[in-house]
Amino acid sequence: MRKIIVAIDGYSACGKSTTAKEVARILGYRYIDSGAMYRAVTYYFQQHHIALSNPREVDRALKNIKVTFKINSKGISETYLQGLNVEDPIRSMAVSHEVSQVSTLKPVREAMVAQQRKLGKQKGIVMDGRDIGTVVFPEADVKVFFTADLLVRAFRRQRELLDKETLIEVDTIIDNLVERDKIDSSRTESPLKKADGASTIDTTHITIDEQVDEVVRLAVAAMIRA
């Protein structure tokens, strides 16, 4: 069967990554978390004290940054920066607070989009993010747009952080989600919006299994059409 590209976009903490990972596993496809790439860049900038207002510093840093993914012993994809596993630090609140700001920068987006397109060249990929169906792969065979109620998203993110033994008050998480939604949707470069032809999935009242089933159903239909 011909391999396809599945593009999943939407707001933070709507269940995109959880769904995308499982869909990729079922289809036997590669999963790429594009948000992790922007998080890794943000973490690098923080570690190297890169001034976002200095385009030369940003460009020099971007030439140096190497973000890769490796599958761990449990079959889960993890993010590496300069060859080091950064899966935990890139999920910290310190990175969450700055990542949307870093993601507004044109050179950052150009560098990441180029890498993402390379990763999708062979197809057989499920990628999630904010601009996958609109900018990275506008020709994707399946495009999905995830939304969910803000409070549900905040509690889900809180649970994810708790699983990593970090307790953050739900109000702090809500503030961060609202702030990121605003920056992600209103930026000039590749703002978050529903792609033409995308199917909306509201995950407020459905289970992860239902989300996964819906995307797999869309993917299989696209494979049959292809």
Residues that bind ligand DC (CB under 6 A): 12, 34-35, 38-39, 99-100, 103, 129-132, 180, 184
Q: How far is the CB of 224 from ligand DC (least distance, A)?
A: 28
Closest CB to ligand DC among residues 151, 226:
151
Sheet strand arrangement including 30-33: 30-33, 125-129, 5-10, 142-147, 199-202
In the chain, the amino acid numbered 105 is L
Closest CB to ligand DC among residues 12, 203:
12
Rounded to 10°, the helix 106-119/93-103 angle is: 100
Closest CB to ligand DC among residues 34, 211:
34
Q: How far is the CB of 181 from ligand DC (least distance, A)?
A: 8
Residues 6+ apart with CB under 8 A from 195: 7, 9, 133, 134, 138, 143, 145
Q: How far is the CB of 198 from ligand DC (least distance, A)?
A: 14
Contact 107, 70 (CB under 8 A): no
According to DSSP, the residues that pair with 145 across neighbouring strands are 9, 200
Closest CB to ligand DC among residues 35, 120:
35
Closest CB to ligand DC among residues 98, 214:
98
Alpha helices, DSSP H only, in 48-168?
55-64, 93-103, 106-119, 150-163
Q: How far is the CB of 156 from ligand DC (least distance, A)?
A: 12
Question: How far is Cα 193 from Cα 76, in angstroms, rounded to an integer?
Answer: 28
Question: How far is Cα 23 from Cα 69, in angstroms, rounded to an integer?
Answer: 18
Q: How far is the CB of 145 from ligand DC (least distance, A)?
A: 13
Q: In this structure, how many other beta carbons lie within 10 angstroms of the beta carbon of residue 50?
A: 19
Q: How far is the CB of 1 from ligand DC (least distance, A)?
A: 27
Closest CB to ligand DC among residues 69, 220:
69
